Amino acid sequence: MALVSKDIDSAFHGAGAKPGLEIWCVENLRLVPLPKSLHGKFHSGNAYIVLNTLLLKNGPPQHDIHYWLGKDANQMESTLASDKALELDTALGSCTVQYREVQGQETEKFLSYFKPCIIPIEGVYSSQLGHLDSNSYKVSMLKCKGDHVVSVKEVPFSRSSLNHNDVFILDTASKIFLFSGCNSSIQERAKALEVVQYVKENKHGGKCEVATIEDGKFVGDSDVGEFWSLFGGYAPIPRDLPFGVQKEYDTSSVQLSWITTQGKLCPKEGNSLNKEMLDSNKCYMLDCGAEIFVWMGRNTSITERKTSISFIEDFLRNQGRSTATHLTFLTEGLETSIFKSFFESWPQVEPNLYEEGREKVAAIFKHQGYDVKELPEAEDCQSYINCQGKLKVWRVDGDELILVPAQEQIKLFSGDCYVVQYTYAGDGRDENLFYAWLGRASVLEDRADVITHMNAIADSSKGDPVLARVIQDKEPLQLFLIFQTIIILKGGLSKRYKRFIAENGILDETYDEGKTSLFRVQGTSPSSMQAIQVDQDCELKVNWCRFSSSLNSYYCYILQTGRSTFTWIGNLSSTIDHDLLDRMLELINPTWQPMSVREGSEPDVFWEALGGKTEYPREKEIKQHNEDPHLFAFIFADGDFKVKEIYNFTQDDLTTEDVLILNCHKEIYVWIGCHANVKSKQQALTLGLNFLENVHHIEGLSLETPIYVVTEGKEPPFFTCFFEWDSSKANMLGNSFERKLAILKGKKQNLEVPIINSWKAFSRETTPDNLRSNSVSSNGRGSILSSASSVSGSKSKSANSHLFSSPTLIARKLFPGSPDGSAGSPEAEARSPQDANLVQVDRSNFTENSLIYPYARLIVGSSDPVTDIDVSRREAYLSDEEFQEKFGMMRKAFYGLAKWRQNKLKMSLQLF
SS3 353: helix
CB 101 within 8 A of CB 327: no
| pLDDT of 364 higher than 70 | no
| pLDDT of 440 higher than 60 | yes
814: closest CA among 847, 792, 797? 792
Q: What is the pLDDT of residue 730?
A: 73
Q: What is the pLDDT of residue 529?
A: 94
- What stretches of 172-226 adopt beta strand conformation (E)? 175-180, 209-214
| pLDDT of 668 higher than 60 | yes
CB 817 within 8 A of CB 823: yes
**What's the angle, vertex CA 218, arms to CA 212 and CA 220, rounded to 5?**
105
479: closest CA among 467, 489, 462, 493? 467
Mean pLDDT along residues 396-423 = 95
Least confident window among 43-52, 705-714, 800-809: 800-809
Q: Look at the domain 855-909 and name its fold.
A: Villin Headpiece Domain; Chain A (1.10.950)
CB 821 within 8 A of CB 835: no
Mean pLDDT along residues 848-856 = 73
Q: What is the pLDDT of residue 625?
A: 57
791: closest CA among 772, 815, 766, 817? 815
Counting residues of the chain whose pLDDT is more than 70, the rounded percentage is 79
Distance between CA 522 and CA 480 in Å, rounded?
11
| 833 pLDDT tier (thresholds 50, 70, 90) | very low
211: closest CA among 174, 246, 253? 174
CB burial class (10 A; 0-12, 13-18, 19+) of residue 505?
A: exposed
Least confident window among 87-96, 131-140, 745-754, 816-825: 816-825
Quick count: other Cβ atoms within 10 Å of Cβ 162? Answer: 18
Mean pLDDT along residues 823-827 = 33
SS3 336: coil
Task: Decide the pairing of beta strands 400-403 and 255-259.
Answer: unpaired
Counting residues of the chain whose pLDDT is more than 90, the rounded percentage is 47
Q: What is the pLDDT of residue 860?
A: 77
**Is the preceding omega at residue 116 within 30 degrees of 0, hence cis?**
yes
Whole-number Cα distances in Å, 731 to 367, 671, 714, 750, 845: 58, 16, 10, 7, 38
Distance between CA 848 and CA 7 in Å, rounded?
73
Q: What is the pLDDT of residue 601?
A: 93
**What's the angle, vertex CA 144, arms to CA 142 and CA 146, rounded to 5?**
165
- What stretches of 732-819 adopt beta strand conformation (E)? none
Least confident window among 162-171, 380-389, 873-882: 380-389
| pLDDT of 739 higher than 60 | yes
Cross-sheet strand order for the sheet of 707-711: 400-403, 390-397, 417-425, 430-438, 466-471, 707-711, 668-672, 659-663, 630-637, 640-646
Distance between CA 489 and CA 24 in Å, rounded?
61
For the CA atoms of 625, 477, 394, 434, the dihedral, rounded to the nearest 10 degrees, stands at: -100
- Half-sphere exposure at residue 805, Cβ-oriented, CA atoms within 13 angstroms: 12
CATH number of the domain at 630-731, please? 3.40.20.10
Question: In the chain, how long is the greatest CA-to-CA distance?
Answer: 100
Phi, psi of 760 (to 5 degrees): -90, 130
Per the model's pLDDT, the better-predicted residue between 777 and 480 turns out to be: 480
Task: Decide the pairing of beta strands 151-155 and 167-171.
Answer: unpaired
CB 668 within 8 A of CB 686: no
| pLDDT of 483 higher than 90 | yes
> What is the per-residue DSSP string for 375-404?
PPPPP---BSS-SSSEEEEEEEETTEEEEP
Q: Which residues pair with 523 in a beta bridge?
A: 529
| pLDDT of 131 higher than 80 | no
283: closest CA among 317, 257, 316, 254? 257
Distance between CA 539 and CA 17 in Å, rounded?
59
Q: What is the pLDDT of residue 622?
A: 62
Q: What is the pLDDT of residue 138?
A: 83
Q: What is the pLDDT of residue 647?
A: 94
737: closest CA among 656, 623, 626, 857? 656
Mention every residue, 6+ apart, whose C-beta is less than 8 A from residue 594: 558, 565, 566, 567, 585
**What's the angle, vertex CA 544, arms to CA 539 and CA 547, rounded to 5?**
95
Distance between CA 449 and CA 642 in Å, rounded?
28
Q: What is the pLDDT of residue 898?
A: 66
| pLDDT of 98 higher than 80 | yes
| pLDDT of 553 higher than 80 | yes
CB 20 within 8 A of CB 61: no
Say which amino acid occupies 163: N
| pLDDT of 900 higher than 70 | no
**Domain 140-231, CATH among 3.30.70.1280, 3.30.70.100, 3.40.20.10, 3.10.129.10:** 3.40.20.10
Run of H or E residues at 316: helix 302-319
Mean pLDDT along residues 428-435 = 91
Per the model's pLDDT, the better-predicted residue between 132 and 239 turns out to be: 239
Distance between CA 157 and CA 233 in Å, rounded?
14
CA 424 and chain centroid, separation: 23
Least confident window among 31-35, 254-258, 755-759: 755-759
Here the contacts of 584-588 (C-beta below 8 Å, separation 24 or greater) are 584/485, 584/487, 584/519, 584/521, 584/529, 584/531, 584/558, 585/558, 587/410, 587/485, 587/487, 587/531, 587/779, 587/780, 588/487, 588/519, 588/531, 588/558, 588/560
Q: What is the pLDDT of residue 723?
A: 92
Q: Look at the domain 255-342 and name its fold.
A: Severin (3.40.20)
Q: What is the pLDDT of residue 349?
A: 53
CA 519 and chain centroid, separation: 31
Distance between CA 547 and CA 558 in Å, rounded?
12
Q: Where are the alpha helices (DSSP H) in 646-757?
A: 681-699, 717-720, 727-730, 736-744
Quick count: other Cβ atoms within 10 Å of Cβ 854? Answer: 14
| pLDDT of 356 higher than 60 | no
Q: What is the pLDDT of residue 538?
A: 58
**Ranges for all domains in the chain classified under CATH 3.40.20.10:** 11-113, 140-231, 255-342, 630-731
Three-state helix/strand/coil letters over 448-515: HHHHHHHHHHHHHCCCCCEEEEEECCCCCHHHHHHHCEEEEECCCCCHHHHHHHHHCCCCCCCCCCCC
| 240 pLDDT tier (thresholds 50, 70, 90) | low
Q: Is the Cα torsion angle 660, 662, 667, 671 positive or negative in sign? A: negative
| pLDDT of 25 higher than 60 | yes
| pTM exceeding 0.75 | yes
SS3 598: strand
Mean pLDDT along residues 760-785 = 33
CB burial class (10 A; 0-12, 13-18, 19+) of residue 883?
A: buried
CATH architecture classification, 11-113 = 3-Layer(aba) Sandwich (3.40)
| 196 pLDDT tier (thresholds 50, 70, 90) | very high
Three-state helix/strand/coil letters over 622-646: CCCCCCCCEEEEEEEECCEEEEEEE
873: closest CA among 113, 888, 850? 850
Q: What is the pLDDT of residue 186?
A: 94
**Ranges for all domains in the chain classified under CATH 1.10.950.10:** 855-909
| pLDDT of 793 higher than 50 | no
| pLDDT of 750 higher than 50 | no
| pLDDT of 211 higher than 90 | yes
Mean pLDDT along residues 162-180 = 94
Mean pLDDT along residues 165-188 = 94
Distance between CA 782 and CA 790 in Å, rounded?
12
| pLDDT of 819 higher than 70 | no
Run of H or E residues at 61: none
Distance between CA 679 and CA 672 in Å, rounded?
8
Distance between CA 286 and CA 304 in Å, rounded?
17
> pLDDT digits over 100-110, tens only?
999 999 999 99
Per the model's pLDDT, the better-predicted residue between 357 and 343 turns out to be: 343
Whole-number Cα distances in Å, 213 to 150, 155, 168, 278: 19, 18, 10, 53
Q: What is the pLDDT of residue 454?
A: 96
Whole-number Cα distances in Å, 465 to 240, 476, 774: 44, 17, 27
Distance between CA 654 and CA 736 in Å, rounded?
10
Quick count: other Cβ atoms within 10 Å of Cβ 615? Answer: 8
| 567 pLDDT tier (thresholds 50, 70, 90) | very high
